[in-house]
Amino acid sequence: MKAQRGGFVMGLIVGLLLGLALALAVALYVTKVPVPFVNKVPQRGPEQNAAEIERNKNWDPNAPLSSKAPARPGAPAGSAPVTPAAPPAPQAAPPKAAVAEPAPPQGQAAAPAKSTKPGVDPFIYFVQVGAFAKPEDAEQQRAKLAMLGFSAKVSEREQSGRPMYRVRLGPYQMRDEAESTQTKLQSGGEDAALVRVER
């Protein structure tokens, strides 16, 4: 009986040792062998990471909303770009102030401001009041607009490889409606940009 019990204990110890050796061998094999679909992705070097960080350092998701033209990187802050003076045209009408509109998102074509056919507008319009990297910030802006009496929606869109959360009012069928809303928001101190989307 003692011999049988001793053989069982010895077999148990040998089995545990064999199991540990096998587990160690598998662990060593797994760490040496490349993992599928992971090591096939090209690894980024430190130079690429530094360039990406530098590029994103001054990135502003609300840049299209500002009505000011961005300063050129090479020019000093106080200097204006120098353009050659053209002779004045006879009886030139004063130019109208242009409405600042952001470039349309990818997949949406830019087109003339007014439709060529009277009464038919090929676009629908939105008034964008912010683009945020965090959904909480977008919801906070939407709540602020709701307190001012505007019904805004938050939509998610990928921009520069990152999700952006846009706060927009609309859609408006006519440009005049969208411009009226934009004017009300701007008079209330909000940055608002007109966005047009092809129907």
pLDDT in tens, 76-119: 444 444 444 554 544 544 444 444 455 444 444 444 444 445 56
Amino acid at 184: K
Contact present, 14 and 22 (Cβ < 8 Å)? no
Residue 38 token pair: 């992971």
Residue 98 token pair: 């242009």
pLDDT in tens, 11-37: 889 999 999 998 888 887 777 765 555
pLDDT in tens, 156-193: 988 888 999 999 998 999 999 999 999 999 998 888 99
Q: What CATH class has 111-199?
A: alpha beta
Residue 1 token pair: 């009986």
Say whether pLDDT at 38 is over 70: no
What does each C-alpha distance from 108 to 103, 153, 198, 199 come to in angstroms?
Answer: 9, 19, 7, 10
Q: Match 């011999």 to its residue by tokens.
A: 3
How many helices (H) and strands (E) are present in the chain, helices listed first? 4, 4
Higher pLDDT, 72 or 187: 187
* pTM higher than the cut 0.75: no
Pairing of strands 152-159, 162-172: antiparallel
Residue 93 token pair: 């009408």
Contact present, 129 and 191 (Cβ < 8 Å)? yes
Which residues have a Cβ under 8 Å from the Cβ of 22 and sit 6 or more positions away? Answer: none
Say whether pLDDT at 128 is over 80: yes
Residue 97 token pair: 């102030």
Higher pLDDT, 8 or 117: 8
Buried/exposed 59-88: b ≥16 CB within 10 Å, e otherwise:
eebeebbeeeeeeeeeeeeeeeeeeeeeee
Residue 169 is predicted with a pLDDT of 93
Radius of gyration of the chain measured on its C-alpha atoms: 31
Residue 188 token pair: 């209330």
pLDDT in tens, 147-157: 989 999 999 98
Residue 180 token pair: 């009226």
Amino acid at 78: G
